[in-house]
Chains A and B, each alone.
Chain A
Amino acid sequence: MKRGRVLVATLALLAAWQLLAMLLRQSILPAPVEVARTLVEETLHGELPKHFLASLWRVLASTLLSIGLAAPAGLLLGQSKRLNEFFLPVIYILYPIPKVVFVPVLLLFFGIGDLSKILIIFLILFFQILVLVRDQAAALRPELILSVRSLGAGRRALFRFVYLPASLPGILTALRQSIGTAVAVLYVTEVFATRFGLGYYIYFQGSSMINYPAMYAGIVVMSLLGLALYFIVDWLEKKLCGWQNP
């Protein structure tokens, strides 16, 4: 997407918001200018950065954890027919389950700290990455592996020059597809049983403090978090996987 067009779309959405706020004239929909002022104020003097960092940490930790575990597992399943056939029914059953239903279970097992929140996002990303990397690895032709081995590559070089680059597109596609869901589920987990995170901040400002501009500021920051993650993945895909759309 061209940068100019993204900018125009942003301005159009802000204008629509402003218009709606002017028409409604209610405190539950403050104008964007007012929200922006609160956002700056909360960022400089308030607690918003603290909540933002808590959420960011949860998303990053779970993303790295899921890549670190799902990508090797996917490579293994993709390269071994026998292992794949063994695990296929398990993945077939677990993959389509909306992982968000496990939130209460994880809270019971892992408590109300960061771990349960990180694990739920991990579950969402794990299966997505596993399945996509597995398919990518299964598509690697045995001839390709043989010819790289004939150049002197042993296990380590095969991993570095074949398996690692081969799994990148799967990882990035999985992240692009699930990062939105991950941030949504993060919100759900942060609404209950915590005092840190953007989900908590949004909910707390809206329901307890009745500070609507601050609530909207939280929503804006959470949206920006999701957007930024999406843009990073998009950028990495263009940079690292340009060969897929020549």
Chain B
Amino acid sequence: MIHLSSLTFSYGRGAPIFSGFSWSAARGEAWAVLGPSGCGKSTLLNLLAGLLQPTGGKVLVEGQELHRPRPHTGLIIQDYGLLPWATVRQNAELGLRVRNFYGPDGTHAPRDYKPSLQVDPWLKRLGLQDVAAKYPGQVSGGQRQRAAIARTLALEPDLLLMDEPFSSLDAPTRESLQGLVLELWAEQGLTLVTVTHAIEEAAVLGQRILLLGRPPNREPEVIDNPGAAQPGYRESAEYAAVVRELRERLMRL
């Protein structure tokens, strides 16, 4: 699904964040990218989203080299992703409106795209019907992130990228949304990449965890966490062990 081949990236003339970095993720996998701030994890996600271009090497998604955002990739960011002047429903419709605006040109929307504005099933699935007519400023942080998820999933992505999606939320809301994302991941057959600085979140959302350290990153460091995404995993001894291991590895970076 994703293949980075000797990726090199730096901002302007700054020191490289990635240097000859190669990494692959298979279709349907749930990955977490973990690392301290400044390690380049958001940069990696923006590269995968096609919002940044590599300085060297290639970013391949589904075998295609990426030069711009890809219609079947969804991106969810921490906050500020919703239009403040549009209601929850209008925000959920935004991706479809953008597609309808361009039509099925293969660049901004898939070639087989049929114009639609149907977001009701997603509003319902995400429990947003009652707040559909409200503005983002009038609903809770959890509801805002649900709206962002609805907006992204309405575009039927096969790859879902999330950048610290739940870090501004309180713990119960965060946990319930993590559960929801895992449900949707399994239900929709998504490939999931979540960037986070929270060890616990990485252990919950990543069946495989990519650790990034101080730049430049050259070799991917991967920890397998096959139990993630299973019910009750958070309470298991396996989870506790992975969290401990991640903490020790992060300390050593």
Contacts and interface: CB of A to CB of B under 8 A. Distances in A.
A149 B51 CA distance: 8
B80 A141 contact: yes
Interface string B72-84: 0111111111111
A243 B102 contact: no
Which size class do A's interface residues fall under?
20 to 34
B85 A147 contact: no
A152 B70 CA distance: 7
Given A150-B49, A152-B95, A153-B108, A241 B80 contact: no
Interface string A119-151: 000000000000000000000010110111111
Interface of B: 46, 49-51, 69, 71, 73-87, 94-95, 97-99, 101-102, 107-109, 134-135, 137-138, 148, 151-152, 155
A157 interface: yes
Given A149-B69, A152-B109, A161-B97, A143 B81 contact: yes
Interface in A138-191: 141, 143-144, 146-154, 156-157, 160-162, 165-166, 168-169
B46 to A, nearest CB: 7
Contacts of A4: none
A246 B138 contact: yes
A151 B94 contact: yes
A152 B94 CA distance: 10
Nearest to A150: B75
Contact of A166 (B69, B74, B85, B87): B85
Nearest to A139: B84
A34 to B, nearest CB: 49
Given A143-B80, A147-B81, A161-B83, A243 B98 contact: no
A243 B87 CA distance: 8
B85 A153 contact: no
A157 B102 contact: yes
A150 B51 contact: yes
B98 A153 contact: yes
Contacts of A141: 80
Contacts of B155: 151-152
Nearest to A162: B83
A143 B108 contact: no
User: 9 nearest interchain CB pairs?
Assistant: A150-B75, A147-B81, A151-B95, A152-B108, A243-B135, A141-B80, A143-B80, A243-B85, A246-B138
A157 B85 contact: no
A150 B162 CA distance: 12
14 contacts: A143-B77, A143-B80, A144-B80, A144-B81, A147-B75, A151-B98, A151-B155, A152-B99, A152-B107, A154-B107, A157-B101, A161-B98, A165-B83, A243-B137
